[in-house]
Chains A and B, each alone.
Chain A
Amino acid sequence: MSVLDWWHYGLFHLSVSLLAVGGAVTLVPDLYRYAVTEHSLLSAAQFKHALVLAQAAPGPNVLYVALVGWQVGVNAAGPGASGWLAVGLGTLGLMVGLLGVLLPSSFLTLSIARWCNRHQGRLGVQAFRQGMAPIVVGVLLSGAWLLVRADGHWAASGGLWIVSGVCTLLVWRTRLHLLWMLSAGALVGAAGLI
């Protein structure tokens, strides 16, 4: 990849940043079309692996953009390249992608948040903040629902629903540390019980 290609790669991320209403996963189709279909910067399988890994690993899902950038850099170094060249270009791709996708949206969010803080007393600002609350709760609940449902149906994966239901109650009613629940879930899953 030439300097111009990298420049273009960065510009693409800057341009889609403000479209990511509802999270970075919204950008999957666009990024796929740009990096895989149009410019062949990485293979379809590499793209999918990056997405799956980023969702399975802890941390915000937006990190898949960084992982795609890393893979693009490693590919650009070529198969015979020295390890350091691959790591260098991988880091470059990672930074260009992640900064590009985060900068515009971050500036916008901070400006709006500061404006809201300065005008806290306004009826409109109060109505927005309080009025959005039930929508927030509804969207959170559906997010949880979709997360369990994604893995199967009632009959086939009853165990998953039970695990999720128990965790819901534990979080709601107790102060048990989240890592205990995650470890228990990992153990139950690894043992093949669900």
Chain B
Amino acid sequence: MSPDHAHTPAFDASLMTVPLKPHRLAELFWAFSVMSLQGFGGVLAVVHRELVDKRRWLTDAEFIEDWAVAQVMPGPNVCNLALMFGDRHMGWPGALSALAGLLALPLVLLLALATLFNQWADVPAVEGALRGMGAVAAGLIAGAALKLLQSLRRHVLGFVAILCLVAAAFVGTVVLDLQLHLIVLGLGSVACAMTWRALRTQGAA
């Protein structure tokens, strides 16, 4: 038996909690390409699945925090998220690799689709397939949201207050049809102020 083998740590459950991270620019590029190519009707749900569930490059809490920043900042949310993630691990080159991964292959695919579009647009099966994928995409987003909600059980505000805030954001967007930045900036400020107070009380106690 080779001497190296003795030093190889046994694969045990404790390894699962070690935070993993990308090591090479190409790894970042391909990870984001894979996510982007699966992202019908928005890439966000796929990003959660891939970065949190599968690769474990982010925890639920980190994902939520990054997403909040990405959402408040101008620009496409998923692009912002990719930039921040790449930058944190590998600086500027990382940010560019992640963003390029997100955009390059889907763009080539999109151009190909656009050239085919005129011949295929009227086929009912194609239209039906798009409808079906749209319905799945909605489910993917909702499922990711429920998982994130679960991770907020031990939030400093308490789970009941969290549920109220989630409901308020939902009603504001769906029922009252308020613009997204009103929700994010308005209701977001309220939530942040409440959290600020709770954190301060907690720190003082």
B-binding residues in A (CB < 8 A): 17-24, 26, 49-50, 53-63, 66-67, 70, 94, 98, 101-102, 104-106, 108-110, 112-114, 116-117, 123-124, 126-148, 150-151, 159-161, 163-172, 175, 178-179, 181-182, 184-192, 194
Contact = CB atoms under 8 A, between A and B. Distances in A.
Given A109-B73, A137-B149, A185-B136, 10 more contacts: A20-B76, A21-B180, A53-B117, A59-B103, A113-B87, A131-B193, A147-B141, A163-B136, A172-B146, A182-B137
Contacts of A53: 110, 113-114, 117
Nearest to A50: B114
Interface string B149-181: 100100111000011011111101110000111
Q: How large is the interface on B (under 10, 10 to 19, 20 to 34, 35 or more residues)?
A: 35 or more
Interface of B: 36-46, 49, 53, 61, 64-80, 83-84, 87-88, 95, 99, 102-103, 105-107, 109-111, 113-114, 117, 124-126, 128-149, 152, 155-157, 162-163, 165-170, 172-174, 179-181, 183-184, 187-188, 191-196, 199-200, 203
A146 B169 CA distance: 13
A158 to B, nearest CB: 11
Nearest to B148: A137
Nearest to A106: B83
A137 B107 CA distance: 29
14 contacts: A66-B103, A102-B76, A110-B84, A110-B87, A114-B87, A128-B68, A129-B65, A130-B199, A133-B68, A133-B148, A138-B165, A163-B136, A190-B129, A192-B125
Contacts of A159: 135
Given A132-B191, A186-B132, A144 B138 contact: yes
A56 B156 CA distance: 39
